[in-house]
Amino acid sequence: MDFTGSSGGGSDHRQIEESKPLLGEMSATEGSKMGAARCRRPLLHCNGMRYKLLQEGDIQVCVIRHPRTFLSKILTSKFLRRWEPHHVTLADNSLASATAWGACVPQSLTLLAGSTAGTVCVSSKPTGYMENSISYSAIEDVQLLSWENAPKYCLQLTIPGGTVLLQAANSYLRDQWFHSLQWKKKIYKYKKVLSNPSRWEVVLKEIRTLVDMALNSPLQDDSIHQAPLEIVSKLLSENTNLTTQDHESIIVAIAPLLENNHPPPDLCEFFCKHCRERPRSMVVIEVFTPVVQRILKHNMDFGKCPRLRLFTQEYILALNELNAGMEVVKKFIHSMHGPTGQCPHPRVLPNLVAVCLAAIYSCYEEFINSRDNSPSLKEIRNGCQQQCDRKPNLPLRLLHTSPDLVSQEATLSESRLKSVIVTSNEIHVEVERNNTANQKMTANVGNDSEPNLIDCLMVSPTCSTMSIELSAQADRILGCYVEILKMLSDYDDWRPALASLLQPIPFPKEALAHEKFTKELKYVIQRFAEDPRQEVHSCLLSVRAGKDGWFQLYSPGGVACDDDGELFASMVHILMGSCYKTKKFLLSLAENKLGPCMLLALRGNQTMVEILCLMLEYNIIDNNDTQLQIISTLESTDVGKRMYEQLCDRQRELKELQRKGGPTRLTLPSKSTDADLARLLSSGSFGNLENLSLAFTNVTSACAEHLIKLPSLKQLNLWSTQFGDAGLRLLSEHLTMLQVLNLCETPVTDAGLLALSSMKSLCSLNMNSTKLSADTYEDLKAKLPNLKEVDVRYTEAW
SS (H, E, C) 363-406: HCHHHHHCHHHCCCHHHHHHCCCCCCCCCCCCCEECCCCCHHHC
pLDDT at 83 over 90: no
Q: Residue 591: count other Cβ atoms within 10 Å of its Cβ.
A: 10
Task: Report the candidate in 366, 472, 477, 473 with the shortest Cα–Cα distance to residue 422.
Answer: 366
Task: Report the candidate in 174, 164, 104 with the shortest Cα–Cα distance to residue 134.
Answer: 164
- Per 3-state DSSP, the chain is made up of helix, strand and coil in percentages (nearest 5) of 50, 15, 40
Burial per residue of 339-372, b for 16 or more beta-carbon CB atoms within 10 angstroms, e otherwise: eeeebebeebbbbbbbbbbbbbbbbbebbbebee
Lowest mean pLDDT: which of 149-163, 371-385, 407-421, 546-560? 407-421
99-106 vs 119-122, strand pairing mode: antiparallel
Which pLDDT score is estimated for 566?
Answer: 87
Which pLDDT score is estimated for 124?
Answer: 52
Which pLDDT score is estimated for 122?
Answer: 43
Mean pLDDT (whole number) for 537-552:
82
Decide if 693 contacts 668 (C-beta within 8 A). Answer: yes
759 Cβ neighbours under 8 A, 6+ residues apart = 731, 732, 735, 736, 738, 741, 784
Burial per residue of 186-222, b for 16 or more beta-carbon CB atoms within 10 angstroms, e otherwise: bbbebbeebeeeeebeebbebbbebbbbbbebbbebe
Round the average pLDDT of the chain to a whole number and report it.
Answer: 77
pLDDT at 380 over 60: no
Q: Which pLDDT band, with edges at 50, 70 and 90, does 780 fall under?
A: very high
Decide if 543 contacts 551 (C-beta within 8 A). Answer: no
Which pLDDT score is estimated for 50?
Answer: 86
pLDDT at 143 over 80: yes
Decide if 230 contacts 236 (C-beta within 8 A). Answer: no
Decide if 275 contacts 318 (C-beta within 8 A). Answer: yes
Mean pLDDT (whole number) for 391-400:
32
pLDDT at 421 over 50: no
119-122 vs 56-65, strand pairing mode: unpaired
Most confident of 192-201, 288-297, 435-444, 628-637: 288-297
Lowest mean pLDDT: which of 288-302, 448-462, 699-713, 743-757? 448-462
Lowest mean pLDDT: which of 281-290, 655-664, 785-794? 655-664
Which pLDDT score is estimated for 343?
Answer: 93
Q: Give the pTM.
A: 0.67
pLDDT at 305 over 50: yes
Cα of 761 vs its chain's centroid, Å = 42
pLDDT at 295 over 50: yes
**What letter represents residue 37's amino acid?**
A
Percent of the chain with pLDDT over 70: 75
Long-range contacts from 663-669, C-beta under 8 angstroms, 24+ separation: 663/688, 663/689, 664/688, 664/689, 664/690, 664/691, 665/689, 665/690, 665/691, 665/692, 665/693, 666/691, 666/692, 666/693, 667/692, 667/693, 667/695, 668/693, 668/694, 668/697, 668/699, 669/697
Mean pLDDT (whole number) for 771-793:
92
| Maximum Cα–Cα distance across the chain | 126
Secondary structure (DSSP) of 722-744: B--HHHHHHHHHH-TT--EEE-T
Q: Which pLDDT band, with edges at 50, 70 and 90, does 703 fall under?
A: very high
Which pLDDT score is estimated for 388?
Answer: 38
Most confident of 23-32, 545-554, 619-628: 619-628
- The Cα–Cα gap between 286 and 290 comes to 8
Helix (H, G, I), strand (E, B) or coil at 76: coil
Q: Which pLDDT band, with edges at 50, 70 and 90, does 591 fall under?
A: confident
- The Cα–Cα gap between 382 and 16 comes to 54
Which pLDDT score is estimated for 33?
Answer: 44
> In this structure, is the dihedral angle defined by the CA atoms of residues 82, 85, 87 and 88, taken in order, positive or negative?
positive
Task: Report the candidate in 676, 718, 679 with the shortest Cα–Cα distance to residue 701.
Answer: 718
Lowest mean pLDDT: which of 92-96, 341-345, 391-395, 656-660? 391-395
Cα of 361 vs its chain's centroid, Å = 15
Beta strands in 427-576 (DSSP E): 428-436, 464-469
Most confident of 198-207, 289-298, 597-606: 289-298
- The Cα–Cα gap between 667 and 664 comes to 11
pLDDT at 58 over 90: yes
Lowest mean pLDDT: which of 415-429, 485-499, 542-556? 415-429
Q: Which pLDDT band, with edges at 50, 70 and 90, does 467 fall under?
A: low
Which pLDDT score is estimated for 420?
Answer: 30
Burial of 44 (0-12, 13-18, 19+ CB in 10 A): exposed
Where do the H-state alpha helices sit in 559-703? 566-577, 583-592, 594-602, 606-617, 624-634, 638-658, 674-681
Lowest mean pLDDT: which of 259-273, 634-648, 659-673? 659-673
Q: Residue 544: count other Cβ atoms within 10 Å of its Cβ.
A: 8
Most confident of 120-129, 145-154, 275-284: 275-284
Q: What is the dihedral of CA 670, 673, 677, 680, to 10 degrees?
A: -80
Burial per residue of 21-35, b for 16 or more beta-carbon CB atoms within 10 angstroms, e otherwise: ebeeebeeebeebbe
Lowest mean pLDDT: which of 577-591, 615-629, 716-730, 742-756? 577-591
- The Cα–Cα gap between 449 and 444 comes to 9
Which residues does residue 766 pair with via DSSP β-bridges, in sequence order? 742, 791
- The Cα–Cα gap between 218 and 46 comes to 9
pLDDT by residue (tens digit) across 268-284?
988 998 999 899 988 89
Q: Which pLDDT band, with edges at 50, 70 and 90, does 717 fall under?
A: very high
Q: Which pLDDT band, with edges at 50, 70 and 90, does 354 fall under?
A: very high
Q: Which pLDDT band, with edges at 50, 70 and 90, does 415 fall under?
A: very low
pLDDT at 74 over 60: no
501 Cβ neighbours under 8 A, 6+ residues apart = 349, 350, 353
Mean pLDDT (whole number) for 461-479:
72
